[in-house]
Homo-oligomer: A and B are copies of this chain.
Amino acid sequence: MILEYLQKQVDFFNKKIGDFIPSGEPKILFDAMRYSLTAGGKRIRPILVVESAKSVKPGIDINTFIEIPVACEFIHTYSLIHDDLPAMDDDDFRRGKPTCHKVFGEAMAILAGDGLLTHAFNLISLNKFLESEKLIRIINILSEKVGIYGMVAGQAADMDKNFRDVEFIHTHKTAKFIEACCEIGGVIGSADESQIKYLRDYGYAIGMAFQIWDDVLDEIGEEEKLGKKAHKDKEKDKITYPLVYGVERSKEMARNYVEKAITSLKDIPNRDILVNIAKFIISREV
């Protein structure tokens, strides 16, 4: 059920992202951005923006705020392109396809990432339906949680071999961005401040569950299903939950985060889909 629903949402966002793909000169820059934006993926961040907005305002028209979830996917795509670079995780494949720098070269991959990040803020600024106060709040949340106090700090900690605090890394690298998506959905849906806090707590908890589950899948997974190499983390000497706590304890921790996430939603009126997304995260085999 939830899988079918999510698949419909993925199809919807694949189409919508297509509508927002920019074109211009030099062609190779725009080709590189298009390549990575259309390389597939779970589109979980834009879906969470929309579902969080709907959870507090069920009838809300997605077209009145479509730039925001699309911007979140632009930012996610930038982060993948930069993470894959030779100087970073040095990955040749992503979602079963050669990574951006393998196809377009390192310089163009760096610039495609820079371009997607910058353009995400441009997209948000172009929204004509939400009040400016809301747009500024959305930019504030997003730039904090994907920036130096969030995702960028997490990736830096992940690259810093002296930094071995796995909770810090996962919190910053993954959970804060997902938290931001849910919080932003609350802002879009005019949730009251306590509801926004509940959505934020939900987002953080599913973000942690999501990343821990990814670690577990990498540890036990098969390459074919993952669409990328399994056991990459071990090869790269990455610190992961299974490495620190073992596979079984990690699974339990992911389940606890999902439980916490669901509890956070108790005062959110239309919480069913968010609850099901939380449960889905720890049922994934890929």
Q: Which residues of A contact B (CB under 8 A)?
A: 22, 24-26, 28-30, 33, 82, 85, 87-88, 105-108, 110-111, 113-115, 117-119, 121-122, 124-126, 131-133, 135-137, 139-140, 143-144, 146-149, 152-153, 155-157, 159-160, 163, 168
Least CB distance, A31 to chain B, in whole angstroms: 11
Give chain A's interface secondary structure class.
helix
Least CB distance, A91 to chain B, in whole angstroms: 13
Q: A22-B148, A156-B26 are in contact. Are A87 and B106 (CB under 8 A)?
A: yes
Residues of the B chain whose Cβ atoms lie less than 8 Å from the Cβ of A163: 25-26
Instruction: Give the residue of B139, B144, B156 whose beta carbon is less than 8 angstroms from that of A111.
Output: B156
Least CB distance, A159 to chain B, in whole angstroms: 5
Instruction: Give the residue of B28, B114, B143, B148 whose beta carbon is less than 8 angstroms from that of A125.
Output: B143
Residues of the B chain whose Cβ atoms lie less than 8 Å from the Cβ of A157: 25-26
Instruction: Give the residue of B107, B136, B148, B159 whose beta carbon is less than 8 angstroms from that of A115.
Output: B148
Closest residue on chain B to residue A33 by CB atoms? B148
Instruction: Give the residue of B22, B110, B143, B146 whose beta carbon is less than 8 angstroms from that of A87.
Output: B110
Residues of the B chain whose Cβ atoms lie less than 8 Å from the Cβ of A155: 111
Residues of the B chain whose Cβ atoms lie less than 8 Å from the Cβ of A156: 26, 28-29, 107-108, 111, 115
B30 with A148: CB separation less than 8 A = yes
Instruction: Count the copies.
Output: 2
Least CB distance, A179 to chain B, in whole angstroms: 16
Q: A25-B168, A121-B139, A125-B143 are in contact. Are A110 and B132 (CB under 8 A)?
A: no
Cα–Cα, bound, A132→B163 (Å): 39
Least CB distance, A172 to chain B, in whole angstroms: 9
Which of A125, A133, A148 has the most B CB atoms < 10 Å from its CB? Answer: A148
Cα–Cα, bound, A25→B165 (Å): 11
Residues of the B chain whose Cβ atoms lie less than 8 Å from the Cβ of A24: 148-149, 153
Cα–Cα, bound, A59→B27 (Å): 45
A29 with B152: CB separation less than 8 A = yes
A115 with B147: CB separation less than 8 A = yes
Residues of the B chain whose Cβ atoms lie less than 8 Å from the Cβ of A122: 139-140, 143-144, 147
Q: A111-B156, A125-B139, A139-B125 are in contact. Are A148 and B87 (CB under 8 A)?
A: no
A121 with B121: CB separation less than 8 A = yes
Instruction: Give the residue of B87, B118, B125 whose beta carbon is less than 8 angstroms from that of A117.
Output: B118
Known: A108-B156, A114-B114. 10 other contacts (CB 8 A): A22-B148, A24-B153, A87-B107, A87-B110, A107-B159, A114-B117, A117-B117, A125-B139, A132-B135, A136-B136
Residues of the B chain whose Cβ atoms lie less than 8 Å from the Cβ of A124: 139
Closest residue on chain B to residue A22 by CB atoms? B148
